[in-house]
Chains A and B, each alone.
Chain A
């Protein structure tokens, strides 16, 4: 049987067009969701997924109640919003890193994805989107509990909230992309790094206490992190006021500007770092490495 080979023309090589990337992205979303959810029935899945963020928020609520006896509701609002939004950081960073590590070490599929004409990048984004979606549900649930049971009052300002959410999630994704590339280089304990980095950011971003409480040598790191400004802008967008402490005295415009600037620095740095990490992973043969951890 004669085989007629179709000669590709420049610019039409399959896998490098936007449409092909989109198809790869969509397929990866379905795959990610199947992996995340197919082990249990939906009810049980919901319990497993939502109990953790709710319990994390309730720990803070009880700590607050024990000390203040329910006084200072502004601080409670600060706690609830910070605790709820932080689920996105865990979801995005955990999603991206776990996806790349699972595909490399558990399912051993990453090398096959890499050798396809499509880029790994849209696949990775799609593959991690299920966890991001779950984290958004956790955010909504935690905020809902805050409103219904704890008397948290929202005064939404969508002019701040919408751009802050979009820019903030892009910033968090850039951190996740950086982490995913970095974790490919690690010999041991790569699975622990997202938790460690997210935990460190949790500490310095003013998620559950004002930045002023931190030792002064950590202040510059806190001010440089886009997560700090994303949380502050989101609080202003949701609650109508800023955080307690010095950061709350800044104007809305300054907070948004700092969010945009820190994100504009983070995104290209993360993309460049990811590209370099991938190149190094190819050269060093790390794409099918099994660390055994």
Chain B
């Protein structure tokens, strides 16, 4: 383990006057420190592995069997498997990003975050990076098992673009999680119920188990403007099942532009919400009260 070293200060004012480099280094350390338990959790807690693969896989299987009972074309099975994998990311965003600050408050960690010499965005970025790495393994497992077990065949003509769209989807998705983290904390005891509310209704609106274009136009319009899960999934389906004949809501290029815009907007909104949260924390002090 390396000790944290810096030049000894001669007075308190000098000690508090950090260089830009030191601020960046400290925030990077905070980010990696927060990401570490999630990444190391990959190997340390096998029960996570079971539940995070098993639960999405159960849901995927149920919807696959519904399509089989309806004698749907085979590409719909692939839609469900891909949607199930993306569900793992959404669940991670809801439970391990959005609700996380609320749990941290309950456990007494939140005041430590506020008093530590780093920006809260570093903590959120660490949670996002750790969650992304953790969940990617689960999502890959769901896709692998689902594809083999249910015989899904993919028609990928542009693999690099598909990978790019996936990564681009993650930015607004986790940006939304960062925004929700502050909002959930403000809304207090409703956090658990909010997290519940953000599951099935979002799976429905995001077209996780069916083509998004099947929803009424007005609903699709709202989804395209607000829900990165729906936009990203629609674009990825167009790229992963290029010859399926099922059309997306918008061309992939347009959806990529929407995702990029969402990424910027959600990250800025998360930054503003955190600023407001910090203001409240200092003014009212109620953010350290458990169960509120």
Interface centre among A40, A63, A65, A192 (most CB of B within 10 A): A63
Q: Which 5 A-B pairs have the closest CB atoms?
A: A199-B58, A55-B201, A55-B200, A39-B189, A209-B69
A55-B204, A213-B69 are known contacts. Are A189 and B62 too (CB-CB below 8 A)? no
A58-B204, A59-B210, A67-B72 are known contacts. Are A39 and B190 too (CB-CB below 8 A)? yes
The contact string, 1 if C-beta is below 8 Å from chain B, for chain A 195-209, is: 110011011000111
Which residues of chain B have C-beta atoms less than 8 A from A53's C-beta? Answer: 200
Q: Distance in Å from the Cβ of B67 to the closest Cβ of chain A?
A: 7
Inter-subunit contact B196/A52 (CB<8 Å):
yes
Which residues of chain B have C-beta atoms less than 8 A from A65's C-beta? Answer: 214
**By the criterion of a CB under 8 Å from any partner CB, how many residues of chain B are at the interface?**
40
Given the complex of chains A and B, what is the CA–CA distance between A209 and B62 in angstroms? 8
The contact string, 1 if C-beta is below 8 Å from chain B, for chain A 171-207, is: 0000000000000000011001001100110110001
Which residues of chain A have C-beta atoms less than 8 A from B211's C-beta? Answer: 66
Given the complex of chains A and B, what is the CA–CA distance between A211 and B245 in angstroms? 30
Which residues of chain A have C-beta atoms less than 8 A from B265's C-beta? Answer: none
Given the complex of chains A and B, what is the CA–CA distance between A200 and B50 in angstroms? 13
Given the complex of chains A and B, what is the CA–CA distance between A67 and B47 in angstroms? 37
Inter-subunit contact A209/B66 (CB<8 Å):
yes
Inter-subunit contact B76/A59 (CB<8 Å):
no
Given the complex of chains A and B, what is the CA–CA distance between A213 and B61 in angstroms? 11
Given the complex of chains A and B, what is the CA–CA distance between A203 and B215 in angstroms? 26
B54 in the interface, Cβ–Cβ < 8 Å?
Answer: yes
The binding surface of chain A is classed by DSSP as: helix
Q: Looking across the interface, which residue of chain B has its beta carbon closest to that of A214? A: B65
The contact string, 1 if C-beta is below 8 Å from chain A, for chain B 45-82, is: 10110110011001101110111111110001000000
B209 in the interface, Cβ–Cβ < 8 Å?
Answer: yes
The binding surface of chain B is classed by DSSP as: helix
Given the complex of chains A and B, what is the CA–CA distance between A44 and B190 in angstroms? 10
A-B pairs with beta carbons under 8 A, tally: 104
Given the complex of chains A and B, what is the CA–CA distance between A12 and B209 in angstroms? 59
Q: Distance in Å from the Cβ of B83 to the closest Cβ of chain A?
A: 10
Inter-subunit contact B210/A213 (CB<8 Å):
no
Q: Looking across the interface, which residue of chain B has its beta carbon closest to that of A52? A: B200
Q: Distance in Å from the Cβ of A248 to the closest Cβ of chain B?
A: 13
- Some 12 contacts from A to B, beta carbons below 8 A apart, are A48-B197, A52-B196, A63-B67, A64-B70, A66-B211, A79-B66, A192-B55, A196-B55, A203-B62, A209-B65, A209-B68, A210-B69
B residues within 8 Å of A by Cβ?
Answer: 45, 47-48, 50-51, 54-55, 58-59, 61-63, 65-72, 76, 188-190, 193-194, 196-197, 199-201, 203-205, 208-211, 214-215
A residues within 8 Å of B by Cβ?
Answer: 39-40, 44, 47-48, 51-53, 55-56, 58-60, 62-68, 75, 79, 188-189, 192, 195-196, 199-200, 202-203, 207-210, 213-214, 244
Given the complex of chains A and B, what is the CA–CA distance between A48 and B208 in angstroms? 20
Inter-subunit contact B48/A189 (CB<8 Å):
yes
Inter-subunit contact A62/B204 (CB<8 Å):
yes
Which residues of chain A have C-beta atoms less than 8 A from B194's C-beta? Answer: 48
Which residues of chain B have C-beta atoms less than 8 A from A66's C-beta? Answer: 72, 76, 210-211, 214
Q: Looking across the interface, which residue of chain A has its beta carbon closest to that of B202? A: A55
Q: Distance in Å from the Cβ of A185 to the closest Cβ of chain B?
A: 14
